[in-house]
Each structure stands twice: as C-alpha cells, then as structure tokens.
Structure 1
Amino acid sequence: MFSQMLTPAYLPFAFSFVLMIGIGLIEAIGLGLGQFDLDGDFSGDGDGGMLSWLGLGGELPILIWLTSLLGCFTLAGIALQQGMTAIGGAPLPWLGASGGALVAGAALNTFAANGLARILPGFETTVISTDDLLRQRGTILEGTARRGAPARAKVVDRHGQAHFVMVEPHDDADAISSGETALLVRREGQVFFAVPDRPASLRLP
C-alpha cells in the first residue's frame, strides 16, 4: 500500500495525508497557528447556507476543520482509486480522481466537522481592549526596562490569554530587570508604563 501511495494516481492523496499529519502535530504540541493570530473560529447563523453545508456552521477552529477536510479527502481518494482498480483494473488519472475525491470528501467532512463541533469543548473568542491590560501585572522577558528604552513583557489578561507588550518604568529613576514583575499603570501609544513589584528603596537607579 505504501508503494502504491507513491504512484502518480495516488500522489494527491499522499500529499494531503502528509499535510494532515503535519497540521495535526502542530495542534497537538500547542503551536497552533492561532498563536500567530492565524487561527479562527467560524460561526454560522444556522440558515443552511454554504458555510453550514461545508461544516463551518458551528464553532470549530479552522485548523481542526482543515485537518478533518484533508482526512476526508484522503480517505475518499483512496477509496475511489481502490474501487476503480477493482472495477476497471486501473485507477483514475490523478486529476480526475482529485476532483471526485474533493466533492466526496467535502460532503463527508460536513458530517465529520459537525460531529467534531459537538464533541470538542466549546471554544470562546475573547476580545479585549488594549486598555484592559492596565492594572494587570506583566513580567519582563528580556533586557531591562528603562525610561526611553522599553523592554518586552508578558501580560496575562483576565481570560488567561497572554499578551506581549513593550514596557517602560513609570518613574524616571526606576529600572525593571528581566524576570521582574510590574503593575501596568498607564499607556502611551503602544508603550505601557509600569511600577515594579518591589519596595521603592530596592529599585534600581
């Protein structure tokens, strides 16, 4: 079967299988493209439109939907080529098989995606204002934050989502070192100003 998958008639399905495994591994180790703001949830309005027909009518992250579609396309393609080989003695050319498998796979994925949406935990998309990060604590990730020389910090909002912002100390004389936490007290543009979580007598000059 493995050698058969490397023949031209099966190559589209071998490629989709490898791509499905790759996306699945990315999701499994927690590096989903959502971390780079490419992931998303699709919500339909339940009116039976095209999105609902494609299986995007419920809340389901796009990468999971895509992984399901690739799996259905692969299974439909292999089944089609196996069936044509059994009936006619040879598989279809890869282009014709791909078209047939895409139609069959999309139809099959409608049921698979809707089933996954019911099984998987609910996904929530939380959108917050930048100013909502004020009065939250951030941790300096690298370097030392000084006035005029902001450092990158990680802030976890009330929903548990991480944000990465540039931070300067609120007071001119302060400096906030890597690993220290500080309270964000104001913002100017993209830069937050913070008070370090240590007594004033211990703050770096």
Structure 2
Amino acid sequence: MFAQFLTPAYLPFAIAFAVMIGIGLIESIGLGLGHLDLDADMGADGHGGVLDWLGLGRELPILIWLTSLLGCFTVAGTAIQQIAESLQGAPLPWPGAVGGALLAGGALNTLAANALARILPRFETSVISTDDLLRQRGTVLEGAARRGAPARVKVVDRHGQAHVVLVEPHDDADIIAAGETVLIVRRDGARFFVVPERHTLLQSI
C-alpha cells in the first residue's frame, strides 16, 4: 500500500499527507503559528459568509483548520482512487482525482472544522491584539535573553490562550535565563521588551 501511495496517481495525496504531518509537528512543539485574526473578514452581523462555510467562521486556529483540510483531501482522494480501481481496474489520472478530492475534501472539512471548533472552545473569541500582551507575565522557554539576542517567552493571555513571542531585556545590562518569569513592558514591531520579575520593584505587583 505504501508503494502504491507513491505512484503518480496517488502522489498529490501523499504530498498532502506529508504536509499535514509537518504542520502537526509545528503545532505540537508550540511555535505559536496557529492563530489568525479573522475579524476583518467578518460581516457586521458577526458571520463570515464564505468563512463560515469553510469552517473558519468560529475563529478556529488556521493551522488546525489547514491540517484538517489536508487530512480530508488525502482521505477523499485515496477513496476516489480506490473506488476507481475497483470499478475499472486502474486509478484515475491524478488531475481528475485531485479535482474530485478538492470538492469532496472541502465539504468534508466543513463538517470536521465545525466539529473541532465545538470541542476546542478555548479558541473561540480569543483573538487579541499583540498590544494586549503588554503588562502580562511570561516564562522564558529556552536560552537567555540579552539585548540584541532575543529569547522565546510563553505568555498566557486573559482568555487562557498561550502565545510564544520573542523578547529582549528592557535594560541593556540584564541577562534573563530560561525558566525566569518576566513582565512585558513594551513592544517594538514584533519584538517585546521585558523586565525580570526578580527586580525588587516588581515583587509587590
């Protein structure tokens, strides 16, 4: 079956499956890439029209939605080729199979995405501005943050959703080690600046 999956008739679905696994690994190691602010696409009544049909209207994290779509595309395409082989003794040419899989997989993904949005309520109404992370505490995940050498910090917003951002010390002389708790005090573009909680002035905050 694995060798069959690598033949030209099945290759688009093998590639989709490999990409799906890759995205799953990215999400599992928590790189913080899974959330997309879709508010600009919503209508005044709070519904996203096409986004709702696609399963994105519930603000499902984009990488989870994409992983689901790739999985549905792979399943639909493989099923189409298997049915074609049982009926005519050979799979369809890959362009025809891909077209059918896009239609069937897209419809199947609408159901899957809506189901995922219901069982992952923590992602609903949790899209925030990056400025909302200011004055929040976080934990340095790895390495040491120095001026000019940022480190990754995990911050939990008011919705309980975790974000991973790059930070540098607010004070030039500070070196903040992995595991330390920090307070985010300002932002410059995608870079945040923090003060370590060990500073005496933060102990009572």
TM-score, normalised to structure 1's length? 0.69
Deviation at 1:184, TM superposition (A): 7.5
Counterpart code for 1:82: Q
1:33-112 correspondence to structure 2 within 5 Å: 33-34=33-34, 39-42=35-38, 47=47, 49-112=49-112
Mapped partners of 1:186, 1:27: distance in 2: 27
SS in structure 2 at match of 1:33: coil
Q: CA deviation at 1:22?
A: 1.2
Q: 1:176 aligns with which of 167, 174, 177?
A: 174
For 1:168, the aligned partner's letter is D
Deviation at 1:155, TM superposition (A): 8.7
Q: Distance in 1 between matches of 2:188 and 2:18?
A: 47
Aligned to 2:129: 127
- 8 Å CA contact 1:68–1:113 kept in 2: the answer is yes
For structure 1, the 5+ residue unaligned runs are: 170-174, 200-205
User: Greater Rg, structure 1 or structure 2?
Assistant: 1
Q: How many corresponding residue pairs?
A: 184
Specify the SS of the correspondent of 2:171: strand
Aligned equivalent of 1:202: none
Structure 1 residue 6: Cα displacement = 1.0
Are 1:26 and 2:10 matched, yes or no? Answer: no
Instruction: Determine if contact 2:54/2:106 at 8 Å carries over to the other structure.
Output: yes
- Could you tell me which amino acid in structure 2 is paired with residue 110 of structure 1? T
Q: Look up the SS of the partner of 1:92 in the other structure.
A: coil
Q: CA offset at residue 29 of structure 1? A: 2.4
Q: TM-score, normalised by structure 2?
A: 0.69
Q: Identity of paired residues, percent?
A: 53
